[in-house]
Structure 1
Amino acid sequence: MNINRTDVDALNAVLSLEIKQEDYKEKVEKILKDYRKTANVPGFRKGHVPAGLINKKYRVPVMVDEINKMIQEKLNSYIQEEKLELLGNPLPKEQEDIDWENAKDFNFEFEIGLAPEFDVDLKGKKITSYEIKVDDKTINDQIDRIREQYGKLVNKDEVAEGDEITGVFRNDDEDINVDATFKTDRIKGKTNMKKLVGSKPGDVLKLKTQNLFENDQDLNNLLKIDQEKVDEGINVPLEFEITEVNTREKAEMTQEFFDKLFGPDAIKSEDELKERLREDASKQFAQQTDQKLLTDVTESLIENTKFDLPADFLKRWIANNGEQEMTAEEAEEEYNRSEKGLRYQLIEGNLIKNNEDLQLKFEDLQEYARTMIRQQMAQYGHTGATDEEVDQVVARIMSNQDEVKKMSEQLQNEKMLDFFKENVSLKKKEVSYEKFIEEAYGA
């Protein structure tokens, strides 16, 4: 069997396979002989079916199957031997109907899309690397929220700002009749707040759905209004009958309170609580800023690393290799949706190929799994696990392909992030959490 490559351009080529009778004849004849020994054909004893009958009935399907196997094996071995970096898989070219009954020699052609060659410049435009400052206000606000969460409800006779109100929203035309509990800080506008403040259980207030809550999503969450109507900006009158008013007294900063939060004697003072919350917040914020940095570097690399793709080939490949065949228009839409992801895969692959520290090794995964298992055990209070116990769990995880794939992706992301921090031009910026959310997400 011969295989030849013809380059169309730098990104497209055609592989031509020439298969002669001597390439498949011996295998086909052996299979047909085995069929003759086992075939059950009415009118003939097992093993005594005439060779001509077996040949007539099975020769073509056996030959087609064997030739297809040979094609796949030859393509795979050629791609490996030539170290071709393909995008998608070889795509058979259309050809006239094959005369399987009479032909002895065959020719097949496959289109292939080749990965582009390019360099990655990491020292381009500087990218902002955020560091969220955990200031005293952030910590004090968090302590206030925690104290409210662990505090107790105290019933009241009249609504004041900051209180928690329970009541029934009604509108017969819209089939609204729901109990709801919310704090006054979720209400939008001075007019609505003026109606609430000073009201008492038993009072029935006249309100409207429009501009009732700071977040319109509360119309769905609290009033159970269909999301579609919320999105359309529903504006209907409401009656709200107040049934209960409560204020939440904050928990006292006692040892009992500290123990509820972190366990017996882990925290013994307000200063220790603040320090613990500051450490936890720093870790949480670091995860958010790391994710933002990874996203920004990824977008920058995609935008500034220029290379062409075999787009036409990929669209045809997408159209013919899904669970269902796509039209040309559907394939183009799918290609457009996935192009940025494909570009980053190629960029990431280029970086991994050219930087040994980014390449995952089996030992790296094992150590990563050990660290992960020890952390999980510690969360459940099992801090004294032996190496043997940990390694037994690691062995079970490493035998699960899905778990190995998941860990590989996580570890690769961590390696990429560390690599970017060391090699990308960064502009460090210290901000508050609120400023980070505003700048990073436009909120």
Structure 2
Amino acid sequence: QLEQLSPDGSVFEDGINETASVRIEQIVDAAVKASLVGLKKDDVVELDIQKAFANDAAKIAGLLKIDEETAADLKSNFRLTVKNVNRLEESDLNQEFFDKLFGEGNVTTEEEFKAKITEEQENMLKQDSERKLQDEIYNYALSKVDFALPDEFLKRWLKATNEKLSDEELEGGYDDFAKNLKWTLIENKIITGNNIEIKYDEVFSVAKQRLDAQFRMYSPQPLTDEQLGQYTVQYLQNKENANRIFEEVKALKTFDYIKSVITLDNKEITRSEFAKL
């Protein structure tokens, strides 16, 4: 059980509270990993989730079932309460294992298995590279299109609309709020100024991809395309989910437009070099 904590270490009453599976091998930070090894049922520890996953917004989003933008901006620590401890045993490289991992009949030999693993690793690295580029574009745009916001008015508005928001929480989170608001204004200007449309098919496709990634994290048996489509329809029937994915598609289209009007200097580097960026 993962419960979002306030700055004073108490559980944030209206914060994130999610039951999730935390796999030790997915933890990037060595110190955090060491703190989790040997935990037993009902043990409680405080978890710096950004440190644990090296600020990987996609992994954090999948774990907490939130969107990547929220995950990237998340500053809170979490209380982790162990409900169950499961141990994985090494499997033989046989057809039963291949079918569980990739679906029945999709991989039949060890060579195909290795090729599939390589393909998935390459796709993950491409996604990491794209997220890094988006982060660079985001910060560059904010530095170049700088404009003042009515800060005092916005702070009063935030306090008026969030009665439980303390002065400490307001001051601690306002800079991130202001940056996101500026980006939203830039984003909307690009979308409307260039007549960029966001279609339902695009929203459906991205929602389907996100759900597929989440299901794959917690189940070795992939869903059929029909099952995934049904889950996606149900998911988008929730207005909050639909709005979240719509905003994600809008952001992706904004980044795509910016990339089309700037010159990118592509460089080939090693994975370890990329991790240091």
User: Matched residues in 1 for 2:107 and 2:239: separation?
Assistant: 42
User: Matched residues in 1 for 2:104 and 2:159: separation?
Assistant: 62
Structure with greater proportional strand content: 1
Match of 1:220 among 35, 56, 59: 35
Structure with greater contact order relative to length (CA < 8 Å, sep ≥ 6): 1
- Indicate yes or no: 2:106 matched with 1:266: yes
- Deviation for aligned residue 1:405: 0.8
User: Matched residues in 2 for 1:226 and 1:339: separation?
Assistant: 35
Match of 2:260 among 410, 414, 422: 422
Cα distance change of structure 1 residues 257 and 288 upon mapping to structure 2, 3 Å threshold = same
- Deviation for aligned residue 1:370: 6.2
TM-score by length of 2: 0.54
* Number of the residue aligned with 1:306: 146
Structure with greater proportional helix content: 2
Gaps of 5+ in 2: 1-23, 47-88, 216-220
Aligned residues: 197
> What is the 5 A alignment of 1:104-115?
none
User: Matched residues in 2 for 1:324 and 1:282: separation?
Assistant: 45
Deviations 1:344-384 (A, max 9, x none): 12211221221212x43xxx12453267559969942355x
Cα distance change of structure 1 residues 326 and 379 upon mapping to structure 2, 3 Å threshold = closer
Gaps of 5+ in 1: 1-181, 183-213, 229-247
> What is the 5 A alignment of 1:109-258?
215-222=30-37, 251=92, 255=95, 258=98
User: Matched residues in 2 for 1:219 and 1:307: separation?
Assistant: 45
- Deviation for aligned residue 1:312: 3.5
> What is the 5 A alignment of 1:49-88?
none
User: Matched residues in 1 for 2:173 and 2:142: separation?
Assistant: 18
Is 1:368–1:411's contact at 8 Å kept on the other side of the alignment?
yes
* Number of the residue aligned with 1:400: 238
* Number of the residue aligned with 1:380: 223
User: Matched residues in 2 for 1:334 and 1:216: separation?
Assistant: 27
> What is the 5 A alignment of 1:36-47?
none
User: Matched residues in 2 for 1:268 and 1:347: separation?
Assistant: 49
* Number of the residue aligned with 2:188: 349
Deviations 1:290-321 (A, max 9, x none): 11111111111112212222234334434444
* Number of the residue aligned with 1:245: none
Deviations 1:230-270 (A, max 9, x none): xxxxxxxxxxxxxxxxxx9884x555554454344432333
Is 2:206–2:249's contact at 8 Å kept on the other side of the alignment?
no
- The CA RMSD over aligned residues, in Å, is 4.2
- Indicate yes or no: 2:267 matched with 1:432: no
User: Matched residues in 1 for 2:94 and 2:172: separation?
Assistant: 61
Farther-moved stretch of structure 1 (345-354 vs 310-319): 310-319
Is 2:142–2:179's contact at 8 Å kept on the other side of the alignment?
yes
TM-score by length of 1: 0.36
